[in-house]
Chains A and B, each alone.
Chain A
Amino acid sequence: MDDYSKSCLIDLGFQWVLQDPKAATIRESESGNSGGGEEERRQLGKMIVCVAVVGHQNNPVFLQSFTDSDDALKLHHIVHCSLDVIDERVNNPKKSGPTLNDTFLGVLYPMDDCKVYGYLTNTNVKFIMVTTEIDVKDGDLRSFFKDLHSAYVDAVSNPFHIPGKKITSKSFAKRVSSIVKSFRSGTTS
């Protein structure tokens, strides 16, 4: 590396302010050596890692992670990548055949340590849930998404909400966490 590059890299040593200020430490969490995190998660038990709402133009409307570790960026990536599958289902509705009118999309994105489930409303709003639980009952998932959907409808009905904009409502976030909590307790029991 020549001097120029070095000087540029020094310049780049600025602080990044993302929605999650610690997201700059993505490299480690992403590059695969997340063994420690995995273990930690196993200890915590099966749980929902992340819930996201994505608008009809594939714009993120709401994204919340429920882990203690700083993996916001990773979750962003997972949610972003799972849009591929939803896009495909939206664009080729014929293929879905008997599940034509089913809003629940099932597993979108199997990963080694977690699974991504999707739900698509009639207005092309997507709900995406990332869970570390390997075996989840279909019914639990459906009721979870149904709850999430009604919470979303309530949040969007807020006259101060601008369609297409991110949901900033605290009560929505609260309601989502309570849904997540109840899902966790429901499945564990």
Chain B
Amino acid sequence: MEPDVSIETDCEIRVAVLPIGGPIPPPRLRDYLSMLSGHRRVDLSSVSSFYTEHQKSPFTHQPWDSGSLRFKYVVGGAPPSPWEDFQSCRKTLAVVGLCHCPSSPDLSLVADLFAAACKPYTSALVHRCFAFCPSDSQLDEGKKVDKVILFPPSDRQTQEIHMLTMVQDLAASLLMEFEKWVLRAESAGTILKTPLDSQSSLSSEEVIKAKKRRLGRAQKTIGDYCLLAGSPVDANAHYSTAIELARLTGDVFWHAGALEGSVCALLVDRAGQKDATLEEEVKYRYYTVIQLYRRAYLQDNAQRVSTVSFELEAALKLARYLCRQELAKEVVELLMGAADGAKSLIDASDRLILYVEIARIYGSLGYQRKAAFFSRQVAQLYLQQDNSFAAISALQVLSLTSKAYHVQSRGASQKQDTLSNSLGPSHADGGKMHQQSVVSLFESQWSTLQMVVLREILMSSVRAGDPLAAWSAAARLLRSYYPLITPAGQSGLASSLVNSSERLPAGTRCADPALPFIRLHSFPIHPSQMDIVKRSPAKEEWWAGSAPSGPFIYTPFSKGGSNDSNKQELTWIVGEPVQVLVELANPCGFDLVVESIYLSVHSGNFDAFPVSVNLPPNSAKVILLSGIPTKVGPVLIPGCKVHCFGVITEHLFKDVDNLLLGAAQGLVLSDPFRSCGSGKLKIVSVPNISVVPPLPLLVSHVVGGDGAAILYEGEIRDIAISFTNAGTVPVEQAHISLSGKNQDSVISIARESLRSALPLKPGAEVTLPVTIKAWQLGMMDSDHASSKNSSGVSRISKEGSIPLLVIHYAGPLTYNESPKNGDFVSPGRRLVVPLHVCVLQGLRFVKARLLSMEIPAHVHDSLPNPIFVDDGSAEVVTSPNSVNSLVKIDPYSGSWVFRLLELELSNPTDVVFEVNVSVRMDGTNNGNGVTSIQNYAADFGYPKTRIDCDFSARVLIPLEHFKLPVLDGSFFAKESQTTDGLGSKISNPAERNSKAELNASINNLITKIKVRWQSGRNSSGELNIKDAIQAALQASMMDILLPEPLTFLFTLAKNGIANEGIKSPKELSEQTIVAGDSSIQSASGSNTRFKGSISAHEMTPMEVLIRNNTKEPIQMSLSVTCRDVAGENCIEGSKATVLWAGVLTGIQLEVPPLEEVSHSFSLYFLVPGDYTLMGSAIINSATEMLRARARTDSSEETIFCRGSPFHINVVGAL
């Protein structure tokens, strides 16, 4: 059988092309051959100029204008076929020698060699030897040696024209030879032999039969020559005769041959046309041909020589002719028939050719799988031959099939890929897979077939001595089908990988990755110490807006724009090492030694550091791959480079991602990571990584150790933090801010010292003192602490509760070597320094109480040294000499009040605390320039309170007296309204004002009080008493702050003169009496006599001032009582010791709002001693407000108002 047959093969003139002389360099040989093989078809019209008609041409119908001669060049020649008499196209009719002159200097020797080379080709009618690139001397010599045709050195085009001429000359010579041959055959006849004939026994009968047949055979052969000479009409005529004769003589075999020739003549005659009738004709005739061949085969089956190959060739020729999608069914039937016929082929190479042809026709029909199947058969036939060339052929054929079975090497498939889509940022479409890869996942389920194919590739490449192909096949086999291979088989593959790599030079790369499986684990984000912040140079706070602010991770208002959320951006810095976590898996049953693995970066601006890993059987490992970015620009990391089993391969993350996706869908055999016990991991996409120029890098440490400072609640301490610039660029901008919890605890930061240190050169250091006041532990904390206290551990340090020092810093705005784009701004950085503070519980509040004490006022006639406040407001006024006094007079009630805040503190710690209370008195800078003296209570000389471990102690804090001047309904508004059942909240501005005033006064008070503590030598701090005081005050706030609706004040009428009328409220208010030294002294019962003191047996005119503190007029019935020391009423009764004039009971009065009314009366004391005067009033038609103040609910109840008692010291008469 012959390869590449078609119906037209019959009209092709076979030309052997032989290299002659010295060795020809392969590229030159290829060059010469391409020049020659361009002329497969030579038009008769162009041949005519070389043609001379010696005799009358037997080709009467030769189409000189349209016909052509066809050549088939057989490079290297072919041994003569035993069947060449049967089909003249099998004869080698011409020999062309190719000679490369530089390597064969002696042209006469070349001529001899050529003559010798031509000798085996007995049927060759024309010989030509072409010599290329001759030297000048050879050109001269060539004139003598006429057998060698020299191609003078010139450009290619000229040489091609030269070659064309030569081929046309060759064609003409052949044509003339054919004419000669035909004429001779027609006249003298010819003896044609086929192997069939030679095998036949030469019985007499046979000889006679053969003689009869000879004529038909001669006609057939003449037809062949006509066909070769390009004259199909002549050929057809001869073939018709031959067919008739063969039919008559029963020469089935030659009949078939002639018929075959006639079909070829028909096709050549109708060159280019392809209509249905022609096709039908061809089909009909060829089926007949096949039938005839089969008959011939059956007839001669007994013989040793099989003609089955002719039948198969005919089938293949027809199949090739019909090879169209529409006729696929017919073609398939023909091919299947041919494939069946393979069994009866004796010669293995025949079978090989048959399968090759079947595979080719299937391939051109589009039946890739069938083509692959037959290619595999071809490969198996090759493998049966035990030589490495056959193995190489097998390997090549199998490589062709690998595509159909979806096991092709990536090196081969990549070429196609690069055409369609470049490798580039293939991760752009995230988790989506290419359609192609999905299909390949599905197709990969034909594992049974695929493994066999791969195994055959492996075996053939081993035999062919192609270690790289072997390595690649073994790698594909191991990587894709490890679950189907036993551990022993896996180790076998591993050792074949190793064996192959031993034959390869070191550093060989292979496109197909073997093990391990590598997937991206994660990109560790920058530690907070090295955070990179985008810089917006336009803003003062350049870092603002770069990081999401606020409590929400996602803000819908952030100008996200183009960047989608799942695509993270990563910034790397030139010269700063970065790390990437990848996970490796070895699902096989042997120890995998990865000699080195490093990140594969295609962008070329990254130095990756190789790592070597050992993976035990069935294990997965997460490893850290690091590297240093070297240049500014984007970084692409499609995968890892792995040096394993002696070969360097690139493992793409994308592939494994696809594989894992397929495994998740159940399409792929198994998930290599899962089978190694590694958990399921979300597919990590490679972020957009960009490299920026070097940035400064601040490194911080706390002076004196980075450990947490242990502080008691409220303790104040200075911490020094030093910052060093570890980068290569100076820090030019730096800004400190606070974040995290307990930010208030940072009292001061020496921002100036940092600012003054700028620019901070590389390597420079700056120290920054920070003052911290330990914060209060929360409820949870303190509970926790108390529970822990029992076990003696009282330290509480919560990572979450510490304040963070955030430093935004940046280098120079534009980097010198920055790329051309001017708007490039090098980013800044953020350093987060946690202020490690461990807060211990300090003193604890047990309780806070308000203690108040009233000391009755004394009634005297004169007002000692009153101080008149300019604006006349009802402010608390202290006389200058009573600074140290804690006793304040209530301007409204007229009594002395002494108020203390008692704090009960306990010490649960194991150290001793000393508590020191101070009250800062706000200076009321009065108009006289007399600034009241403010001091800390330490000035009072209070001793420090020492609280031992596990003890409690009470601390008294003096409270300044304060009250609101007006009892306003608004204060009760809310209450009253709720009692009214209206329930509506009406808050007028006045009401709010008064409340705010109230709160402000409380806060004011609180800020003045400072409770400091000290423990040991170093610890000192402040107690936060705000809440405690607030709680203490809130309970009795109404009583403390709100004035009584009515206040009573007893005074002696001046000089005994009865009251001179009601004074103006302003004057009265100015008259408000403030306690003085004298009063204290008198209160302490000193003997000092005052002018106008009260003596017994004397009419003492007095008056009582009733002040209305409300904004409404109050009607009342007033009564005044006087009691002696024993508390007896000494005005009424039988034993009254005090006589009186005027009205003392049931005085009907109406006091206008915020004004005073005085009522005068006189008393006559019969007995000297101490008396107490007290005013009281029954309020008529009390308002809601008064009721609320009196805390009554029912409207019937009478409201009774009582003033504070006044003391009167009555001395005996002198």
Contact = CB atoms under 8 A, between A and B. Distances in A.
27 contacts: A1-B388, A1-B463, A5-B465, A9-B462, A11-B492, A12-B455, A16-B451, A17-B484, A23-B452, A57-B443, A59-B443, A59-B446, A59-B667, A72-B448, A77-B449, A80-B446, A81-B369, A84-B362, A84-B368, A84-B369, A110-B333, A112-B336, A162-B665, A162-B666, A164-B442, A164-B666, A165-B667
B332 A110 contact: yes
Interface residues of A, number: 48
A153 interface: no
B452 A26 contact: yes
Given A84-B370, A110-B333, A110-B336, A31 B380 contact: yes
Residue from the set A5, A112, A165 with the largest chain B CB neighbour count within 10 Å: A5
B367 A85 contact: yes
A103 interface: no
Given A9-B462, A77-B373, A14 B448 contact: no
Contacts of A164: 442, 665-667
A32 interface: yes
Nearest to A111: B336
Residue from the set B366, B452, B463 with the largest chain A CB neighbour count within 10 Å: B452
Interface in A56-92: 57-60, 72-73, 76-77, 80-81, 83-85, 88, 92
Interface stretch (B50-58, B495-503, B725-733, B1170-1178): B495-503
B205 interface: no
A92 B366 CA distance: 12
Interface residues of B, number: 55
B1162 to A, nearest CB: 110
A19 B448 CA distance: 7
A109 interface: yes
Contacts of A85: 328, 332, 367
Contact of A11 (B340, B499, B665): B499
Nearest to B488: A14
Nearest to B368: A84
B450 to A, nearest CB: 10
Contact of B496 (A12, A57, A80): A12
A84 B329 CA distance: 12
B493 interface: yes
Contact of A81 (B328, B366, B373, B465): B373
Contacts of A109: 332, 336
Contacts of A20: 448
Interface string B431-445: 000000011001101
Contacts of A92: 325
A8 interface: yes
Nearest to B444: A59
B475 to A, nearest CB: 14
Contacts of B442: 55, 57-59, 164
Contacts of B386: 1
Interface in A1-31: 1-2, 4-5, 7-9, 11-20, 23, 26-27, 30-31
Given A32-B343, A59-B445, A110-B332, 18 more contacts: A1-B388, A4-B467, A14-B491, A14-B492, A15-B486, A17-B484, A17-B489, A18-B448, A30-B377, A31-B380, A57-B442, A57-B443, A58-B442, A59-B667, A60-B446, A72-B448, A76-B446, A88-B328
Contact of B448 (A5, A30, A73): A73
Contacts of A88: 325, 328, 366-367
Nearest to A113: B340
Interface string A19-48: 110010011001110000000000000000
Given A18-B484, A88-B325, A23 B448 contact: yes
Contacts of A19: 447-448, 484
A8 B373 contact: no
A130 B343 CA distance: 22
A127 B442 CA distance: 17
Interface in B289-339: 325-326, 328, 332-333, 336
B449 A15 contact: no
B332 A13 contact: no
A7 to B, nearest CB: 6
A181 interface: no
B215 interface: no
Nearest to A108: B332
Contact of A58 (B366, B443, B499): B443
A57 B455 CA distance: 25
B232 to A, nearest CB: 34
A12 B448 contact: no
A112 to B, nearest CB: 5
Interface in A99-145: 109-112
B485 interface: yes
A166 interface: yes
B442 to A, nearest CB: 3
B373 to A, nearest CB: 5
Given A7-B499, A60-B446, A84 B366 contact: yes
Contacts of A17: 484-486, 489
Contacts of B465: 2, 4-5
B503 A4 contact: yes
Nearest to B499: A8
A166 to B, nearest CB: 7
B777 interface: no
Contact of A9 (B377, B459, B484): B459
A12 B446 CA distance: 22
B1029 interface: no
Contacts of A84: 362, 366-370
Nearest to B406: A58
Contacts of B171: none
A76 B367 contact: no
Contact of A12 (B380, B458, B665): B458
A83 B499 contact: no
A152 B373 CA distance: 28
B470 interface: yes
Interface string B356-390: 00000010001111100100010010000010100
Contact of B489 (A16, A23, A73): A16
Contact of B486 (A8, A9, A14, A59): A14
Contacts of A55: 442
**Nearest 7 A-B pairs (CB), nearest first?**
A57-B442, A14-B492, A165-B666, A14-B489, A59-B442, A84-B367, A162-B666
Interface in A161-181: 162, 164-166
Given A88-B325, A110-B332, A16 B485 contact: yes
B342 interface: yes
A39 B485 CA distance: 34
A5 B451 CA distance: 20
B484 A11 contact: no
Contacts of B325: 88, 92, 95
Nearest to A26: B452
B455 A8 contact: no
A72 B448 CA distance: 9
B645 to A, nearest CB: 13
Contacts of A2: 465
Contacts of B343: 32
Contacts of A8: 462, 470, 496, 499-500
Nearest to A9: B462
B455 A81 contact: no
Contacts of A30: 377, 380
Contacts of A73: 448-449, 452
A83 B455 CA distance: 23
Contacts of B369: 80-81, 83-84
B1128 to A, nearest CB: 102
B449 A32 contact: no
A169 to B, nearest CB: 14
A179 B265 CA distance: 55
A109 B386 CA distance: 33
Nearest to A61: B445
Contacts of A83: 369
